[in-house]
Each structure stands twice: as C-alpha cells, then as structure tokens.
Amino acid sequence: MANQVADENEALKSQIRELQHQLEVLQLRSHFRIQHLAGSDEDIRFYTRFATYKHFLAFWKLVEPAANTKMVRITNAKASSASSSDSSQPTTTKLPPIDELLLFLMHLSVGLHLRDLVERFGIHRTTVSRIIST
C-alpha cells in the first residue's frame, strides 16, 4: 500500500513538472519577440520600418555594444549621480535588449500605445514606459 502511494505520488510530481514545462513554453510563444518577425520582411517593414529582417539585424549589430554596456537608464541616473559607483553595469530586465529595440521601434513606427505593448510583450507597464522613455 505504501509503495503504491509513493509511486502515485512520484507519478503526480512528474506530471506537474511536465505541465509546468509546457506552461513555460506556451508563455514564451505567446509573448511578442523579434523571432516572430524573422520569417516575414513585410512584418519587419510594418513594425520597424526596416526594409528586411537582415537590415534590422545589421542595425542591431551596430548598436548592440552600446546597448549592453554604455546605456544609462533613467532609473539608474539618480543612483549614479548620488554615488560614485560604476553606472556601466547592465540593468537586469525581462526583455533581451534586441526585443527592447523592437518594442521601441513598434512604438515609434506604428504608434502602438503603452497598453498594447504591455499585452504583446507580456511585461509590466512600468517596464514598457521605461523602455520607451530611455
């Protein structure tokens, strides 16, 4: 009896792990990311105004070093002016920097509003606001 309960318990734990993994995969698929546009130059043109996905990536390769090291966010400006700490440390965000660029370009090019971007990218409103303003 005890073995049967232990086996059933282990099977249920395994099922929970599998369902959690499936949920994570579905959540990743549901959020808007640059990979969603990779197969359609028409979509890239509409959302970013770049002619092709290759053009977008070429631009990204030019700005990526600065985006990862030299960019000072508004939220870090006060902290770095108040202390002499190194402000070049990257800020942890929920979006990769390339997707932050996509979000910003979608805001500029298509005029998508804050609420729409929050829904598409699955991030908090203040995060979208910070990305747009910095």
Span 72-89, pLDDT tens digits:
555 555 445 555 444 444
Cβ atoms of 95 and 85 within 8 Å: the answer is no
Number of domains in the chain: 2
Task: Examine the domain organization and report whether 26 and 62 are in the same domain.
Answer: no
| CA distances from residue 7 to 19, 44, 97 in whole angstroms, order as listed | 18, 51, 45
Name the token pair of 82: 């108040």
pTM of the model: 0.66
Task: Examine the domain organization and report whether 111 and 122 are in the same domain.
Answer: yes
Q: Please, which pLDDT band fits residue 28 given cuts at 50, 70 and 90?
A: low
| Average confidence score pLDDT of the chain | 84
Cβ atoms of 110 and 46 within 8 Å: the answer is yes
Task: Examine the domain organization and report whether 50 and 114 are in the same domain.
Answer: yes
Task: Examine the domain organization and report whether 16 and 82 are in the same domain.
Answer: no
Dist CA 41 CA 39 (whole Å): 7
Task: Examine the domain organization and report whether 3 and 37 are in the same domain.
Answer: no
Would the pLDDT of 98 be above 80? yes
Task: Examine the domain organization and report whether 54 and 26 are in the same domain.
Answer: no
Task: Examine the domain organization and report whether 50 and 6 are in the same domain.
Answer: no
